[in-house]
Chain A
Amino acid sequence: MTRALRSDTAPACAPGAVLRADPWGEDLHLALYLLYELHYAGFDGVDDEREWDPDLLRLRQAMEARFLHALRTELADGPRSVEDAFAPLLVEPVDLSDSLSHHLETEGELWQLREYAALRSLYHLKEADPHAWVIPRLTGRAKAAMVAIEYDEFGAGRADRVHARLFAALMADLRLDPAYGRYLDRAPAPLLATVNLMSLFGLHRALRGALVGHFACVEVTSSPGSRRMARAMRRCGAGPAAERFYTEHVEADAVHEQVVRHEVIGGLLADEPHLEADVAFGCAATVLLEDRLATHIRSAWTRGDSALRTPLRLP
């Protein structure tokens, strides 16, 4: 893939290779991630026009179909209504023993916070970008509310408050390199899949319902998790910017949650009621992939291993 991108040639791919690829595996998700990245910041040394290269798009489409099919198969018995998808998320769990943020809050170590931030940087350094693609696909109430939330994500007119920039400051506090894409080659498949999901939903108008369900899921679940992460950062002495990123999200996402559920989902389904199952699917797919990622991270840490493909150097 990188050879094809660098040399301006069509990707070489054995016939049927995509169909045989593990739909959760590193091969498929790294290739998909690289192709999606052409729609965001692109790569040095790769012609910007490759974003719309038909050979690359054809390959991307085959991989997306494989990924989407795996998600739909896994969620065949998943929720079909907004109520069923979101009700379990609107409860503050009594038992937090499976919660990664709870683990970090109570016993996390600085090296684990650094790994977590390096992993999440693949999304947070382009925070809210994949969701902006849904805007032209919405109308009226849903559009106005979605834009209002995105405006907040993008700093409400203030460059120093853009959430991606707040995350870069968090990374600097943790002595990580905040350069865009710096940790891509260390990211394991379960992390790549969470970011690919957003790009997949964002780039396809046909999946606008799923994008909205995904976005709502993250906003609904973010506040309590961010509260725990803020405490983890404080307890480990990560630094003021590291703490601020999460305290900002406690308050912001408590607002966003209300607006996204009532106005974005409410508005979308008032306009297009047939999309309800897609909204539920987007939410459930997010839960599924976040669950897989949390399992990956926790099992690596329990073994005393790095959750990254290769461990970070000490600061």
Chain B
Amino acid sequence: MDPRGPVLVEGPVEVVLDDGTVVRSDRFVVAVCTCRRSRTYPWCDTSHRPRGRAVPPTEDGNPR
């Protein structure tokens, strides 16, 4: 596991947020954010990645 990265939990997963809201993901594995930087909290959105100089040319929205 990446020490900065998400916790991987076998889905489906329900997370109770601070305000009592329950959110659910029924993916086969769910990546739960631990760095609290995710903009889709409590789910990981890769915001834990360190910032650096390199520009990966493939980060241009060609998802699978």
Q: Is the CB of A254 within 8 A of B45?
A: yes
A293 to B44, CA, bound (A): 28
Q: How far is the CB of A168 from chain B (nearest CB, A)?
A: 15
Q: Is the CB of B60 within 8 A of A250?
A: no
Q: Is the CB of A219 within 8 A of B52?
A: no
Q: Is the CB of A153 within 8 A of B64?
A: yes
**Interface positions of A from 94 to 110, Cβ below 8 Å from B:** 94-96, 98-101, 104
Partner of B43, one of A99, A100, A251, A258: A251
Q: How far is the CB of A149 from chain B (nearest CB, A)?
A: 8
Q: Is the CB of A93 within 8 A of B51?
A: yes
- Report if A255-B29 is in contact (Cβ < 8 Å); known contacts: A89-B56, A93-B54: yes
A contacts with B, residue count (CB < 8 A): 58
A68 to B59, CA, bound (A): 23
Q: How far is the CB of B4 from chain A (nearest CB, A)?
A: 10
Q: Is the CB of A250 within 8 A of B40?
A: yes
* Interface contact tally, CB-CB below 8 A: 151
CB neighbours of A89 from chain B (8 A): 56, 58-59
Partner of A225, one of B28, B30, B50, B63: B63
CB neighbours of B5 from chain A (8 A): 258
- Report if A229-B61 is in contact (Cβ < 8 Å); known contacts: A148-B28, A152-B28, A156-B27: yes
Q: Is the CB of A251 within 8 A of B61?
A: no
Q: Is the CB of A222 within 8 A of B64?
A: yes
Q: How far is the CB of A175 from chain B (nearest CB, A)?
A: 19
Q: Is the CB of A91 within 8 A of B64?
A: no
Q: Is the CB of B6 within 8 A of A254?
A: yes
- Report if A224-B64 is in contact (Cβ < 8 Å); known contacts: A91-B50, A92-B51, A156-B27: no
Interface assignment of A60: CB less than 8 Å from any CB of chain B: no
Q: How far is the CB of A157 from chain B (nearest CB, A)?
A: 10
Q: Is the CB of A92 within 8 A of B60?
A: no
SS of B interface (majority): loop
Interface assignment of A125: CB less than 8 Å from any CB of chain B: no
Interface assignment of B21: CB less than 8 Å from any CB of chain A: no
Most A CB within 10 A of own CB, among B5, B45, B59, B64? B64
Q: Is the CB of B25 within 8 A of A251?
A: yes
- Report if A290-B62 is in contact (Cβ < 8 Å); known contacts: A93-B54, A258-B6: yes
A153 to B46, CA, bound (A): 19
Interface assignment of B39: CB less than 8 Å from any CB of chain A: yes
Q: How far is the CB of B7 from chain A (nearest CB, A)?
A: 10
Interface assignment of B3: CB less than 8 Å from any CB of chain A: no
Q: Is the CB of A222 within 8 A of B55?
A: no
| Minimum CB distance partner of B56 in chain A | A89
Can you list 5 A-B contacts with CB-CB less than 8 angstroms, sorted by A residue number?
A88-B56, A93-B54, A94-B53, A95-B53, A224-B45
